[in-house]
Amino acid sequence: MNLTAKLISTIVPSLGILTIATLNSPTTLQQDPQPAAKLASIRVITYADNVAEILNNNCVKCHREGQNAPFSLEGYANAKRYSNMIAVATSKRIMPPWKAQPGDVEFRDDAHLTDEQIAMLEAWANSGTLRGEKDKEPKPPKFVDGWANGKPDLLLKMPYTHEISAEGEDEYWNFVITPDITEPTWVSGTDVIPGNKNIVHHVIAYTDSKGRGRKLAQGEKGDGKSGYRSSGGGVGFNPDGALGGWAPGAHGHLLPKDAGILLEPGTDIILQVHYNKSGKVETDQTQLAVYLNKAKPEHNVSLEFLANPFIRIQPNKADQHFKFDMPLPATQQGKKVNYRIYNLMPHMHLLGQSMKATAILPDKSQKVLIDLKNWDFNWQLIYTPIKPVDLPGGTIIRLEAIYDNTVDNPFQPHDPPKLTTWGEETTDEMMLLVSALTVIPQE
Ligand code: HEC
């Protein structure tokens, strides 16, 4: 395919992908305009009546025993103990880690809290954290461990059990896995079971058809089976693409039946695992599930990198805006084409604050594809529209991003702040939208 973005993709490391998407008729989730007024009609706010349901539905899938969130939010005692932190983290929209604003596209597993829910949690923390009637408390949901998409077609393991030290900075490790396939294979999605939920924060499965990962993974034994470390910005080279990604609380979505990502025999999967430190020495052997399309699907899905590599982020200035337009060509090889977008993964590094992608259609109408606020480098999610988004050829994708390069940015990596431009290191920056899409010839 011949997108402008493709030119750029040669200098951009591939990022993860996952799943699938859609566009919808532009229904918009309604924000409550007057959450405070609504709350005023409730006289007493209690855990049983008002709070348990919010925490159970939005938090405990990660905040429970055995998951990687730092404490459990199951039950009244835990909710009370953490009530102030809950109020702060939700009102700043740090938690839950879902950053897409309600807009023209509805996403799967949308986890944003409404303004009213946030106001409720805050009001509960500030009004004595009352319990209410114990018997009326909704019970925390039951979770089944296992694969959300059923038994995987290929189950791939990290080549060995990896050890992570007790303390220090987060580490990014890359493990090379060669899938046992002999024919071109169509991947419809991936999922991950982290080997150790105490430390596995995030996983991305990249593809490498040229053995570059193997060279980096020689290790002491020279067997190509050692993990190697990289910066969180990449895997040490520009991978061919990616099959999927995973973060706590998210599971991979599969592409529709008529679509797949081509995996050729001999192509390696580079499994990048982002590890937190837990305070003690830990081990991990994470598993990647791969789901296949048995027959060659109609649509060949590829990852495209829609990027603005020209960013220059001046030091000591907050609120720096960049805008970049990328046309999706109306024709390819002389044929008129349309595009179908299956998912969207915005990507910036530590100075990023927000990113918005808007489709400007040939008839000049606009559709906001994704509007991400409160960017958090530690929570890079793949956003999957419920229904894939179809865009006519000739549509312009407009990317808008905002950066804060001051000492007030808590993630500021430089002291003092310095001019920051595009680059792969975490301390460089990016303005990138990764999207799984397909080109559809017009009839
Ligand atoms: C997808 C998993 C996930 C979900 C859902 C989630 N959390 Fe968290 N939460 C985490 C993890 C992991 C951390 C540790 C910090 C980090 O990695 O960002 C955390 C940290 C926190 C913290 C500490 C923040 C700080 O300032 O250090 C609070 C408070 C919190 N979560 C509350 C909530 C509440 C309330 C909800 C639901 C409304 C929620 N979380 C939903 C995974 C999750």
- Closest atom of ligand 1 relative to the 58 alpha carbon: 37
221 CA from centroid of ligand 1 (Å): 40
| pTM of structure | 0.83
Question: What's residue 146's pLDDT?
Answer: 74
Is 276 part of a structural domain of the chain? Answer: yes
Final residue belonging to a domain, choices 252, 279, 299: 299
Task: Report the CATH number at residue 314.
Answer: 2.60.120.230
Same domain, 170 and 278: yes
Ligand 1 neighbour 62 (Cβ under 6 A): yes
The closest residue, in CA terms, to atom 7 on ligand 1 is: 96
Nearest atom of ligand 1 to the alpha carbon of 96: 41
Residue 62 lies in a domain: yes
Measure the CA–CA gap between 384 and 368, rounded to whole angstroms. 14
| 97 Cα: distance to centroid of ligand 1 (angstroms) | 7
What's the CA gap between 215 and 438, in Å, rounded? 32
Asked whether 86 lines ligand 1 (CB < 6 A), one says: yes
**Atom number, ligand 1, closest to the C-alpha of residue 276:** 17
Confidence of residue 40 (pLDDT cuts 50, 70, 90): low
List beta partners, residue 370.
357
Co-location of 294 and 317 in the same domain = no
Do 400 and 353 lie in one domain? The reply is: yes
Give the β-pairing of 331-332 and 335-347: antiparallel
Q: Establish whether residue 58 lines the binding site of ligand 1, counting it when its CB lies within 6 angstroms of any ligand atom.
A: yes
Shared domain for 295 and 161, answered yes or no, is yes
> Do the domain assignments include residue 189?
yes
User: Looking at ligand 1, which residue's alpha carbon is closest to its atom 25?
Assistant: 89
Contact 316, 406 (CB under 8 A): yes
Residues 294 and 306 in one domain: no
* Mutation choice for ligand 1 from 63, 72, 124, 197, CB with most ligand atoms inside 8 A: 63
The DSSP string of 382-421 is PB-BSSPEEEETTPEEEEEEEEEESTTSTT--SSS---EE
Q: Is 68 in the pocket of ligand 1 (CB under 6 A)?
A: yes
Q: Which CATH number fits the domain that encloses residue 232?
A: 2.60.120.310
Kindly tell me the burial class for residue 410, based on how many C-beta atoms sit within 10 Å of its own C-beta (0-12, 13-18, 19 or more): exposed
**N-term to C-term CA, the chain:** 18
Q: Which pLDDT band holds residue 424 (cuts at 50, 70, 90)?
A: confident
Does ligand 1 have an atom closer than 6 angstroms to the CB of 96?
yes
Residue 136 has what DSSP assignment?
Answer: G
State whether the beta carbon of 249 lies less than 6 angstroms from ligand 1. Answer: yes
Q: How far is the CA of 141 from the centre of ligand 1 (A)?
A: 17
Confidence of residue 20 (pLDDT cuts 50, 70, 90): very low
pLDDT at 30 over 70: no
> How is residue 404 written in tokens?
């804060």
Q: Can you give the pLDDT at residue 10?
A: 29
Instruction: Determine if ligand 1 sits within 6 Å of the CB of residue 93.
Output: no
The answer to the question of residue 45 being in a domain is yes
List the beta bridge partners of residue 338: 392, 440
pLDDT digits (tens, 9 = 90+) for 276-313: 888 999 999 999 999 999 889 999 998 888 999 999 99
Residues 314 and 435 in one domain: yes
Whether residue 69 is contained in a domain is answered as: yes
User: Best mutation site among 56, 62, 114 for ligand 1, i.e. most ligand atoms within 8 A of its Cβ?
Assistant: 62
Can you tell me the distance from the alpha carbon of 181 to that of 60, in angstroms, rounded to the nearest whole number?
A: 38
C-beta of 90 in contact with ligand 1 (< 6 A) = yes
For the CA atoms of the chain, what is the radius of gyration?
22
Claim to verify: residue 104 and residue 173 sit in the same structural domain: no
Q: Are residues 99 and 188 in the same domain?
A: no
Least confident of 22-36, 263-277, 363-377: 22-36
Q: How far is CA 200 from CA 26, 45, 171, 422, in A?
A: 36, 36, 10, 27
Residue 148 located in a structural domain: no
Class of residue 301 by CB neighbours under 10 A (exposed 0-12, middle 13-18, buried 19+): buried
Does 173 share its domain with 290? Answer: yes
CA distance to 98, 291, 309, 352, per residue, from 403 (Å): 19, 37, 14, 4
Number of domains within the chain: 3
Residues 202, 309 share a domain = no
CA distance 210 to 205: 16
Q: 85 in ligand 1 pocket by Cβ < 6 Å?
A: yes
Looking at 231-386, which runs of residues are DSSP E strands? 241-246, 259-263, 268-275, 282-284, 287-293, 299-300, 302-307, 312-313, 317-327, 331-332, 335-347, 352-360, 366-372
Separation of CA 29 and ligand 1 centre (Å)? 23
User: What is the whole-number distance in angstroms between the Cα of residue 96 and the centre of ligand 1?
Assistant: 6
Give the position, in ligand 1's atom list, of the atom nearest the Cα of 82: 29
Q: Are 157 and 233 in contact (CB under 8 A)?
A: no
Which residues face 347 on adjacent strands? Answer: 432
Shared-domain flag, residues 316 and 436: yes
* Cα–Cα nearest to 16, from 203, 171, 169, 192: 203
Helix (H/G/I), strand (E/B), else coil: 61: coil
The domain boundary residue, chosen from 299, 324, 352: 299
Give the model's confidence band at 403: pLDDT under 50 very low, under 70 low, under 90 confident, else very high: very high
| 26 DSSP 8-state letter | S
Per-residue pLDDT tens digits for 425-437: 788 999 999 899 9
Residue 87 CB less than 6 A away from ligand 1: no
141 occurs within a structural domain: no
Q: pLDDT-derived band of residue 385, with 50, 70 and 90 as boundaries? A: very high
Identify whether 160 is part of a domain: yes
Claim to verify: residue 292 and residue 312 sit in the same structural domain: no
- As given in the structure block, the two tokens for residue 117 are 């829910």
Assess whether the C-beta atom of 100 lies below 6 angstroms from ligand 1. no
| Whole-number Cα distances in Å, 108 to 16, 98, 112, 324, 356 | 17, 11, 11, 27, 18
Instruction: Tell me: pLDDT of 216 over 50.
Output: yes
**Distance between CA atoms of 146 and 177, rounded to whole angstroms?**
22
Please choose, from the candidates 363, 370, 365, the residue with its C-alpha nearest in 3D space to the C-alpha of residue 389. 370
pLDDT tens digits along 62-98: 899 878 788 999 999 999 999 999 999 999 999 999 9
| Listed residues 136, 168, 201: the one ending a domain | 136
- Cα–Cα separations (whole angstroms), residue 114 to 73, 91, 123, 342: 19, 10, 14, 26
CA distance 154 to 199: 24
Q: Rounded mean pLDDT of 21-45?
A: 50
Structural domain boundaries enclosing 61 = 35-136
What does the pLDDT look like over 312-347, one tens digit per residue?
Answer: 999 999 999 999 999 999 999 999 999 999 999 898
